[in-house]
Amino acid sequence: MNHDNHGGAALAAGLELDGLASLVRSFTVRIETRGGSSMGSGVVWQSDGLIVTNAHVVHDERPLVSLGDAGTLDARVVALDRHRDLALLSVDADGLRAAPIGDAESLRAGSLVLALGHPHGVANAMSLGVVHAVTTRRGMPRYIVADLRLAPGNSGGPLVDSTGRVVGINAMIVGGLGVAIPSTVERRFLHEVSRSGATSFASPLAA
Amino acid sequence: MSASSSPAPAPATVLESLSNDLSAAVRAASASMVAIHARRRIPSSGIIWRPGIVVTTHHTIQREDNITVTLADGTTVGATLAGRDPTTDLAVLRLNSEVGVPIARAPLGAQVGQLVLALGMPGPSVTAALGVVSATGGEWRTWHGGRIDQFIRLDVAIYDGFSGGATVDAGGRLLGINSSGLARASAMTIPLATVERVAEQLLASGRVRRGYIGLGVQPVRLPAGVVTQHALSQPVGLMVVSIEEGAPAHAAGVSLGDVVVTCEGTPLADPSELLASLTGERIGTPLALRVLRAGALVEVAVTVGERPRRGEGASAHDAGRNG
């Protein structure tokens, strides 16, 4: 049977997904507590070692960040915001591959999204789905709700759009739906931290 | 510290266009989605079938008074229940004004493997889930005896607002109405042909008329001698185990213990075959039954009546097994 003319778009989509997974893997890190009791994921936000993740995966002042081929490094907690469930870590590294940051406001119900993370400790697992709804507050995206299979360990990892740009940080599973904090919120968080000084959210572990 | 401005990755053209197509499909169908306020807590989903008419699932309409409907543009209008059919899990609402954009219908039926979106509106905005058609089949009967023109099962996650919402193709065109109430909470689609047929009946008379003769039957195996003697085409028949007092079969003289072997000349092996012949169109017409009674083959003509209305609580037994 000649398959040459069948499934061209589907096969191409599969190849592109493979490429996207490689891209997203290159800026997704694993975050572990010393002692290995808790695990989550994170996103390399800047090539100088700045990493964004969820506050709820950070349990001590010196979490371990696993960068894949680049090894495992001690990280410093730069800022922690329990309310927004965001944390900023820094590792002593340079020339890391930073994630391209996308525009969460461009997402619509039905837009394709991918998540990468370490669900239940499985390294670099990818899931594919669509945006279920984007909830808003004061006209700004509040949460990206996705029809997408997530599990504990995806927390802090990237939700990316069909071009591989990070549109959110996966933070919760509610009623089987993935809930991510939109990139607009991460941007604002970083902006606030940089304006007020890195330690203004200090004593983070007391929070 | 500002967000990194690393160069954008090379465009993933197929995925990007697929993503754009899917969100465009949701947007196109969204204009025809509504949220129905007819139960506690979260609203349920419905679809504009034509201006002023909403189709939805029966099991999500939990209140028949004070129903309101929120349209895609955010306006809320009052609605009345035009009718409901528990057997096919469909209900139709009449809006208090002829508003709403009717949903576009898919030109072809569902195909296994086809990408579909399950849309809902359990609140102010339309929600989407992506999946595929996992199985299709021919006409089937629900456990409440309703006729569904095509079997369509989806592989799609069921979230709040699934039932009563739309199963649409990748172009945003309607394949049918989502229901998790037909087959053990699995994701099913009530096909367009069924929606069309049932909605028209509900609008015309507030109910789906079904034929009725008032018999309870059970398949039995017939002795070889009887089969040979009467040259029957199969060694089974349907034994009459109950007759409702005053029902058409009672009036026609059918007795307990009679074994029905054919209906309109067609051999019967299962009660569902007898049930299938009792369509609404047969009401008032004679149904020719061939019956084994005390060793003899006799012809009985039963004038089909209309099935009395039962509450929503009609059991599978009542609705499904009795002719």
- Across the interface, do B130 and A190 touch by the CB < 8 Å criterion? no
Per residue in A31-66, pLDDT (tens digit) is 988 877 678 999 999 999 999 999 999 988 889 999
Is 90 exceeded by the pLDDT of residue B309?
no
Q: Within this chain, do residues B275 and B168 fall inside the same structural domain, yes or no?
A: no
- Selecting from B2, B14, B117 the residue whose C-beta is nearest the C-beta of A110 gives B117
ipTM greater than cut 0.90: no
CATH of the domain at B35: 2.40.10.120
- Please give the structure tokens belonging to residue B119: 């849309």
| pLDDT band at residue A71 using 50, 70 and 90 as cut-offs | confident
Is 60 exceeded by the pLDDT of residue A201?
no
Q: Within this chain, do residues B76 and B168 fall inside the same structural domain, yes or no?
A: yes
Helix (H) or strand (E) holding B166: strand B166-168
Q: What is the pLDDT of residue A142?
A: 94
Q: Within this chain, do residues B287 and B176 fall inside the same structural domain, yes or no?
A: no
**Closest of A101, A122, A137, A103 to residue A27, by C-alpha:** A101
Which one from A90, A127, A155, A183 is the annotated catalytic residue? A155
Q: Within this chain, do residues B203 and B248 fall inside the same structural domain, yes or no?
A: no
Is 50 exceeded by the pLDDT of residue A206?
no
Per residue in A91-132, pLDDT (tens digit) is 999 889 999 999 999 999 999 999 999 888 788 899 999 999
Taking the alpha carbons at both ends of chain A, their separation in whole angstroms is: 64
Q: Within this chain, do residues B96 and B226 fall inside the same structural domain, yes or no?
A: no
Domain end, chosen from B208, B228, B251, is at B208
Among all chains, which residue has been given the structure tokens 């109950």?
B242
Is 50 exceeded by the pLDDT of residue B318?
no
Q: Within this chain, do residues B166 and B241 fall inside the same structural domain, yes or no?
A: no
Q: What is the pLDDT of residue A137?
A: 87
What are the chain B neighbours of A110 within 8 Å (beta carbons)? 19, 22-27, 117, 128, 130
| pLDDT band at residue B313 using 50, 70 and 90 as cut-offs | very low
Beta partners for residue A31, in sequence order: A40, A65
- Say how many domains are in chain B: 2
Is 70 exceeded by the pLDDT of residue B175?
yes
Q: What is the pLDDT of residue A7?
A: 72
The letter for the amino acid at B306 is E
Q: What is the pLDDT of residue B6?
A: 52
| pLDDT band at residue A198 using 50, 70 and 90 as cut-offs | low
Per residue in B44-65, pLDDT (tens digit) is 999 999 999 999 999 999 999 9
Q: Within this chain, do residues B161 and B238 fall inside the same structural domain, yes or no?
A: no
Say how far apart CA B227 and CA B234 lie, in whole Å.
Answer: 7
Contact A116, A126 (CB under 8 A): yes
Least confident among A199-203, B37-41, B220-224, B236-240: A199-203
Average the pLDDT over B22-29 and give the result. Answer: 97
Is 80 exceeded by the pLDDT of residue A70?
no
Q: What is the pLDDT of residue B3?
A: 45
Per residue in A126-147, pLDDT (tens digit) is 999 999 999 998 888 999 999 9
What are the chain A neighbours of B11 within 8 Å (beta carbons)? 163
Q: Within this chain, do residues B245 and B116 fall inside the same structural domain, yes or no?
A: no
Per residue in B227-282, pLDDT (tens digit) is 999 999 999 999 999 999 999 999 999 999 999 999 999 999 998 888 888 888 88
**Catalytic annotation on A127?**
no
Q: What is the pLDDT of residue B11?
A: 52
Domain end, chosen from B191, B208, B225, is at B208
What are the chain B neighbours of A45 within 8 Å (beta carbons)? 3-4
What are the chain B neighbours of A132 within 8 Å (beta carbons)? 127-129, 159
**Catalytic annotation on A194?**
no
Domain end, chosen from B208, B239, B269, is at B208
Helix (H) or strand (E) holding B250: helix B248-251
B22, closest residue in chain A (CA to CA)? A110
Q: What is the pLDDT of residue A75?
A: 94
Cβ-Cβ contacts under 8 Å for A50 (sequence gap 6 or more): A44, A78, A88, A89, A90, B1
Q: Within this chain, do residues B136 and B4 fall inside the same structural domain, yes or no?
A: yes
Q: What is the pLDDT of residue B276?
A: 82
**Catalytic annotation on A4?**
no
Question: Which residue range is the domain that position B117 belongs to?
Answer: 1-208
| pLDDT band at residue A2 using 50, 70 and 90 as cut-offs | very low
Is 80 exceeded by the pLDDT of residue B314?
no
- Selecting from A50, A100, A162 the residue whose C-beta is nearest the C-beta of B12 gives A162
Q: Within this chain, do residues B167 and B305 fall inside the same structural domain, yes or no?
A: no
Work out the percent of chain B whose per-residue pLDDT is above 90.
78
Q: What is the pLDDT of residue A5?
A: 56
Q: Within this chain, do residues B202 and B223 fall inside the same structural domain, yes or no?
A: no
Our separate counts of H helices and E strands in chain A read: 2, 12
Q: What is the pLDDT of residue B323?
A: 42
Work out the percent of chain B whose per-residue pLDDT is above 70.
92
Say how far apart CA B32 and CA B18 lie, in whole Å.
Answer: 22
Across all residues in chain B, what is the average pLDDT?
A: 90
Say how far apart CA B60 and CA B42 lie, in whole Å.
Answer: 11
Q: Within this chain, do residues B202 and B111 fall inside the same structural domain, yes or no?
A: yes
Q: What is the pLDDT of residue B199?
A: 96
CATH of the domain at B273: 2.30.42.10
Cβ-Cβ contacts under 8 Å for A8 (sequence gap 6 or more): none
